[in-house]
Amino acid sequence: MIHAAAPVRAKRVLPGFTLSLGTTLLYLTAIILIPVLALILKGAEIGPARFWAIVTAPRALAAFQVTITAAVIATAFNAVYGLLMAWVLVRYEFPGKRILDALMDIPFALPTAVAGLSLTALFSANGWIGQFLEPQGISIVYTIWGVALAMAFTSVPFVVRTVQPVLEDLDPAFEQAARTLGASEGAIFARVVFPQILPAWLAGCTIAFARSLGEFGAIVFIAGNLPMKTEIAALLAFIRLEEFDYQGASAIALVLLMFALILLVVSNRLQAWAMRFKGI
Amino acid sequence: MTIAISSLTKRFDQTAVLRGIDLTINDGELVALLGPSGSGKTTLLKIIAGLDWPDAGGLVVNGQDWLPLPAQKRRIGFVFQHYALFPHMTVRDNIAFGLTVRPKSERPSKTAIAAKVDDLLGLLQIPHLADRFPAQLSGGQRQRVALGRALAIEPAVLLLDEPFGALDAAIRRDLRAWLREVHQATGSTTLFVTHDQEEAFELADRVVVMGEGRIEQIGSADQIHDHPASPFVARFMGAVVELPVTLRAGRAEAAGLDARMLERRAMADGPAQLFLRPDAIALDADPASPWILSHKASNGAMIRATLRRADGTEVPVDLLRHSAPDLSLGTAYRLRPLTGAVFPLDGVAQNDAPRPLPILKEKRQ
């Protein structure tokens, strides 16, 4: 008996693939693609010479420099602190652990303006913490350190929350195996544990960095926003917009967008490298 | 290395995992810890490895007290149930790990390490896999790498936790024979945990049967098969037929039972429980017997016959098809056990049905 080759398709779990994909694409287009495209087109209107003049103006350059420097400082701090925090939350049992775990999300939940205000109040010359720092000659508010502080505050959960689940899923047998093979605790962390959480950690740090570059609300309160000193790029774009200088605003925004895209690519590359052993 | 374990106890919260373990393992011996899950065998293995600690008891290896010694200092090779190969290292780096991680003063030179790894790759028959990552290996290959990694440090004691638990039957058989060879080649004292009787008996010099945190019996395959030391061991060894009998002059008696082939037991007369394996029972036609053949089925090699008594009790019997008598349904047969174990009733009651773990109880509430 000869069977006709009847096309048999595996049933999809979710019904309406076309509909769900269509909705997703529509939403993605409306909320991400069109604004980005508009930004790029707006930037393209300016023309390369004018664009270059805007983004290399001393004030703009200074703003980029402040933004990137502060973001690097904030990310370096979060890279260490976030990893430590994730480690503590996963590896130790102590009273109040759940509360600490919940507190980790506050930077996500808190309006950034509130965060900026409270940080300013804490670190200003007569604030709770600032009153002790100021006599030592350390000023946070209205300096680049203030900018970095605000960035660090808003972006630390990204590191903690990406590393934490990976660390939780790490089979304790790996460490036990290393121990039976004679590895010291330090060697176990450096050679067995850390390489396995490295992809997640890199991802977390990249997102934290990207978030720091774009942070606005928390920073404007604490930075003082002195042009050439503590003015960040996002604020400069905002100021240009207020001056009805749409071209200037979109040129600066475009540069920020480029940074974000470059970061995404770098982050993906780094992760692919760090996960090279997982593929078949 | 001689391992002497004395009165080891261990509790996890409310559950006693080990209830006093006494065991001596001789130098170069290959010993299996056999038992159902929850019998404490893996915990015992981890205590020997230094990955877990007992509440009380002693662990002395070659005259040295091992309990205060950290795992790093014990020089044991431990093969984990799911191998625990480092996923970010190649096979070569995994095997070399125990050597490269040593402090500089004790570390062999790079060429010496490479030579050692090559040797092991040869012994493990996987030289072609040296540069692969664990994710690219099959289960059997991972098992070999895990063993290679453990052997690289030339362990004094080799411990394996369910070494073939996650593998196909065919690969299991291969690896079993091969592990025996490796053991003969290295001569290291080896202890492995398994719940598979066949595996334990085929591989080990001695088998330690564990149940509920106690050692139930230590012996060879034949000893444990023919003379189970307790109802627990009898049941674990597949004696699923339990018949109430009356002991008279050390011999079991019951209607429809011909126990003349069983040895006489030095036990007091009275009621007792007879434990039989379905494949160690022969059938003889006997119109006076209460056992009626109610069902029979063949799988080609064996016939499984089911005999039924008027009160509903059923006895399964496995017979080799070619040497079995012609059985006809509805006929009465007498049971003639070839081997079997008799235990006094009070002993049976005491060990009856494994106690449920407290954790399960909590869940039920």
User: Which pLDDT value is given to residue A10?
Assistant: 67
Q: Which tokens hold the place of B215?
A: 């050692």
- Asked if residue A8 belongs to a domain, the reply is no
Among B226, B256, B277, the domain boundary falls at B226
Least confident among A16-30, A77-91, B92-106: A16-30
Average the pLDDT over B293-304 and give the result: 88
Asked if residue A155 and residue A83 are part of one domain, the reply reads yes
In a domain? residue B363: no
Q: Domain range holding A247? A: 48-278
> CA-CA distance, A136 to B304, in Å (whole number)?
91
The domain of B345 spans: 240-352
CA distance B108 to B113: 6
Amino acid of residue B182: V
Asked if B72 and A179 come within 8 Å (Cβ–Cβ), the reply is yes
CA distance B116 to B153: 10
What one-letter code names the amino acid at B82?
Answer: H
pLDDT of residue B175: 81
Q: Are residues A173 and A269 in the same domain?
A: yes
pLDDT of residue A75: 95
Same domain, A158 and A241: yes
For residue A88, the model assigns a pLDDT of: 92
CA gap B327, B3 in Å, rounded: 53
Would residue B359 count as lying in a domain?
A: no
- The residue among B198, B226, B254 that closes a domain is B226
Q: In chain A, which residue's Cα lies nearest the Cα of B72? A: A182
Instruction: Give chain B's domain count.
Output: 2
Read off the pLDDT of residues A213-254 as tens digits, 9 standing for 90 and up: 988 888 888 888 888 888 898 889 899 989 988 888 888 988
Confidence of residue B39 (pLDDT cuts 50, 70, 90): confident
Whether B210 and B74 share a structural domain: yes
* B133/A192 touch (CB, cutoff 8 Å), yes or no: no
Chain A residues touching residue B80 (CB < 8 angstroms): 173, 176-177
Task: Quote ipTM for the complex.
Answer: 0.78
> Does an H or E element contain B31, and which?
strand B30-34
Average pLDDT over residues B124-141: 89
- Domain tally, chain A: 2
* CB B194, CB B31: distance < 8 Å: no
CB contact under 8 Å between B78 and A180, yes or no, is yes
Q: In this predicted model, what pLDDT tens digit does every residue of A118-166 receive, in sequence order? A: 888 888 888 888 888 888 878 888 888 989 999 999 999 999 999 999 9
CATH number at residue B280: 2.40.50.140
Does the residue B360 lie in any domain? no
Average confidence score pLDDT of chain A? 87
Domain termination residue (choose one: B226, B255, B273):
B226
Eight-class DSSP state of B286: -
| Same domain? B201 vs B76 | yes
Nearest CA distance, B84 vs chain A (angstrom): 5
Name the residue with higher pLDDT: A279 or B162. Answer: B162
Whether A26 and A112 map to the same domain: the answer is no
- Assess contact for B118 and B139: CB atoms under 8 A: no
Using a CB–CB cutoff of 8 Å, tell me whether B82 touches chain A.
Answer: yes
pTM of the model: 0.77
Contact B89 A174 (CB under 8 A): no
Q: Flag whether B128 is in a domain.
A: yes
CA distance B75 to chain A (A): 7
Check which CATH number belongs to the domain holding B74 and give it. Answer: 3.40.50.300
Question: Are both A140 and A24 inside the same structural domain?
Answer: no
A21 and A144 together in one domain: no
For chain A, percent of residues with pLDDT exceeding 90: 30
Q: How far is B94 from chain A (nearest CA, A)?
A: 10
Question: Which among B76, B84, B102 is the nearest to A173, CB-wise?
Answer: B84
Look at the block and give the residue holding tokens 């899950």.
B37
CATH number of the domain where residue A73 is located: 1.10.3720.10
Give residue B358's pLDDT. Answer: 36
